[in-house]
């Protein structure tokens, strides 16, 4: 009887551990990103649509989505014939450097220093009961972001060779 109880407790712990790990690593960002025109030299102008239960989310969430999208998803806009690949090269870069990006995207993290909200550009669309799609235009300083991530060894620079 104790062997069955022991196996039950172990199985229960194995089910609980992944849930806790997910909570500690931060919220999952659910968003869409698209090009929003031409920004100043060294920047991207993107529109992000964050899916949230709050119809007035903080600017921080929208900036976090914009920087995350520029780094790991890239973006396009068919109407503007605009397309950019992800700065980090692939979504795998986030998993390869999870310690760095956990701190980078933490509340009040470094991501905020690379994004600026464009004032007067917020849209809210109710998509379900207590579910909203909130859109805003954000400027992302891709040049400084790229330099800093190369200096930290997260992204390889062009001068590193193959």
Residue 1 lies in a domain: no
Give domain status of residue 44, yes or no. yes
Count of other CB atoms within 10 angstroms of residue 53: 10
Total domains in the chain come to 1
The reported pLDDT for the residue numbered 82 is 79
For 10-66, the pLDDT digits (tens) are 443 333 333 322 323 456 889 999 998 888 899 999 999 999 998 888 899 999 999
| Residue 127 belongs to domain spanning | 27-154
Torsion 151-154-145-54 (CA) sign: negative
Query: In this structure, is residue 162 part of a structural domain?
Result: no
Cβ atoms of residues 50 and 65 within 8 Å: yes
69 half-sphere exposure, CB direction, 13 A CA radius: 29
Establish if 4 belongs to a structural domain: no
Q: What are phi and psi of 50, to 5 degrees?
A: -90, 135
In a domain, 39, yes or no: yes
| Among 1-5, 42-46, 76-80, 147-151, the least confident range | 1-5
CA distance 38 to 77: 11
The answer as to whether 115 is a domain residue is yes
Q: Does residue 60 lie in a domain region?
A: yes
Distances (CA, A) of 32 to 47, 75, 108: 8, 9, 22
Given this model, what pLDDT does residue 8 score? 47
Q: What is the pLDDT of residue 37?
A: 83
At 83-113, the pLDDT tens digits run 899 998 877 888 999 999 999 999 989 999 9
Residue 12 lies in a domain: no
Structure tokens at 93: 């870069």
């Amino acid at each position: 009887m104790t062997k069955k109880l022991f196996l039950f407790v172990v199985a229960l712990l194995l089910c609980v551990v992944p849930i806790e790990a997910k909570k500690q690593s931060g919220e999952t960002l659910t968003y869409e990103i698209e090009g929003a025109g031409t920004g100043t030299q060294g920047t991207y102008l993107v529109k992000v649509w964050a899916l949230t239960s709050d119809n007035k989310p903080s600017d921080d969430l929208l900036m976090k989505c914009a920087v995350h999208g520029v780094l790991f998803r890239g973006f396009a806009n068919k109407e503007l014939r605009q397309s950019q690949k992800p700065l980090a090269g692939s979504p795998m870069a986030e998993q390869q450097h999870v310690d760095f990006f956990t701190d980078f995207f933490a509340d009040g993290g470094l991501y905020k220093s690379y994004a600026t909200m464009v004032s007067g550009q917020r849209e809210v669309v109710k998509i379900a009961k207590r579910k909203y799609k909130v859109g805003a235009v954000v400027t992302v300083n891709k040049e400084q972001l790229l330099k800093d991530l190369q200096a930290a060894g997260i992204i390889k620079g062009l001068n590193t060779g193959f």
